Amino acid sequence: MHVATRLLAWSCIGLVACLAIAGEVLIAAAMRQVGDLDDIRAHSGLPGAIRAVLTNRIFLTGAFCMALNFFAMLYTLSLIDLSLAAPGIASFTYIGNAIAAKLFLKENVDRRRWLATGFVCAGVYLLAK
């Protein structure tokens, strides 16, 4: 692969991963703020659960990031093979999400979860090899 093409490929992968991390962390934060959807649905029905999600500003920002991620993903897939794009994006996203979950969501990312994240990255790389 030409150097410029390779640079473009990894830039696209990095951009898609960043948008995915931002979207997923914002949506996770929103869902934590909203509470258990099963409980809300039992109490206010499906429309109540949908309203609780759609009126949350953090969720809307996260969904916007995921929409951008979707179009960036389409653009990336038109340039790069899925066998390179999927594991590349997945690996960066898993590590980035674990770091962002610890920093911003204050999740207790213990040794077990770090180990799982590392195994996922290595596993995805080997599957795509």
Partner 1 sequence: MKHSLAPKQYLILLAVMLTASFGDSLLKRGMSQVGAVDSHHLGLLFHAIFNLNIVAGIVLLIGFFACYMVALSWADLTFVMPATAFGNVMIALLSRFWLHEHLSVSRWIGILLLTCAVGFVANGPSRTEHSPESDPFAGPRKPSSLARMDSGVGL
Taking the complex as a whole, the smallest distance from the CB of residue 3 to partner 1 amounts, in Å, to: 18
For the chain, the DSSP string reads --HHHHHHHHHHHHHHHHHHHHHHHHHHHHHHHH--HHHHHHHHHHHHHHHHHHT-HHHHHHHHHHHHHHHHHHHHHHHS-HHHHHHHHHHHHHHHHHHHHHHTS-----HHHHHHHHHHHHHHHHHH-
| Site membership for partner 1, residue 58 (CB under 8 A) | yes
Taking the complex as a whole, the smallest distance from the CB of residue 120 to partner 1 amounts, in Å, to: 4
- Site size with partner 1, rule: CB under 8 A: 56
> Which residues bind to partner 1, rule: CB under 8 A?
24-25, 27-39, 53, 58, 66, 70-71, 73-75, 77-79, 82, 86, 90, 94, 97-98, 101, 104-113, 115-117, 119-120, 122-129
